[in-house]
């Protein structure tokens, strides 16, 4: 059991029968009335973010979660398969548990969050940035625009991102997996 004084970003709690992580919180002490904590909670199963207010000092159940490194192996009808590099254990995960599955490459190392009590996988988190090869994009012409012009590019996984005109087919780029946006060209 923990109280609202123990809240921190990333803390996993049991709330209304589900597991939630605290995305954001703020302690508020109004001039009149009791103190409270305003939070944004992310449901680990559905991914929805909900606002909630807790009275200061209220007790909440903290869920034990473990983050483990796994390597992406392949995808089939059952879902995505990952392998633990130490125990060679295979874990199968549904696509809904992965925030951005379009940026998964074979052999890529990801973090899978497990509920420690039941040993069930909750979410799969990709690295913040991945380097990918551009398999197709239209050739860009310099000097046609007065502003930063962007064009579509297809990556090696089949995902589509917007890139600047100077990037061509065959270039490697860095992509932010949280937003799905182009970051920079990699040499």
55 and 7, same domain (yes or no)? yes
pLDDT the model gives residue 96: 84
Per-10-residue mean pLDDT for the chain, 187 residues long? 90 91 93 93 87 93 91 92 91 88 92 88 90 90 69 92 90 92 91
- List the domain range (segments joined by +) for residue 180: 129-186
Instruction: Choose among 136, 69, 141, 77: nearest CA to 108.
Output: 69
pTM (2 d.p.): 0.77
113 and 144, same domain (yes or no)? no
At 134, which CATH number? 2.40.50.140
At 50, which CATH number? 2.30.30.30
Of the three residues 75, 105, 125, the one that is the final residue of a domain is 125
pLDDT the model gives residue 97: 85
pLDDT the model gives residue 48: 87
Instruction: Choose among 185, 186, 133: nearest CA to 164.
Output: 185
* Domain tally, the chain: 3
Of the three residues 75, 91, 125, the one that is the final residue of a domain is 125
Of the three residues 102, 125, 148, the one that is the final residue of a domain is 125
53 and 71, same domain (yes or no)? no
53 and 70, same domain (yes or no)? no
29 and 44, same domain (yes or no)? yes
102 and 52, same domain (yes or no)? no
pLDDT the model gives residue 145: 60
pLDDT the model gives residue 133: 94
pLDDT the model gives residue 12: 92
**Burial of 93 (C-beta count, 10 Å sphere; 0-12/13-18/19+):** buried
């Amino acid at each position: 059991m923990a109280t609202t004084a123990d809240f921190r970003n990333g803390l996993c709690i049991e709330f209304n029968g589900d597991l939630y992580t605290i995305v954001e919180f703020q302690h508020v002490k109004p001039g009149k009335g009791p103190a409270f904590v305003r939070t944004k909670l992310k449901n680990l199963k559905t991914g929805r973010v909900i606002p909630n207010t807790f009275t200061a000092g209220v007790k909440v159940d903290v869920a034990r979660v473990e983050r483990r490194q796994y390597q992406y192996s392949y995808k089939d009808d059952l879902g995505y398969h990952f392998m633990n590099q130490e125990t060679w254990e295979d874990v199968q995960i549904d696509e809904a548990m992965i925030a951005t599955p379009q940026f998964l490459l074979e052999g890529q190392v990801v973090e899978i969050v497990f509920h420690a009590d039941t040993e069930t996988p909750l979410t799969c988190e990709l690295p913040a940035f991945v380097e990918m090869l551009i398999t197709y994009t239209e050739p860009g012409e310099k000097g046609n625009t007065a502003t930063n012009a962007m064009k579509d590019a297809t990556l090696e996984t089949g995902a589509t991102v917007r890139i600047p005109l100077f990037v061509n087919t065959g270039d490697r780029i860095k992509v932010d997996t949280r937003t799905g946006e182009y970051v920079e060209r990699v040499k």
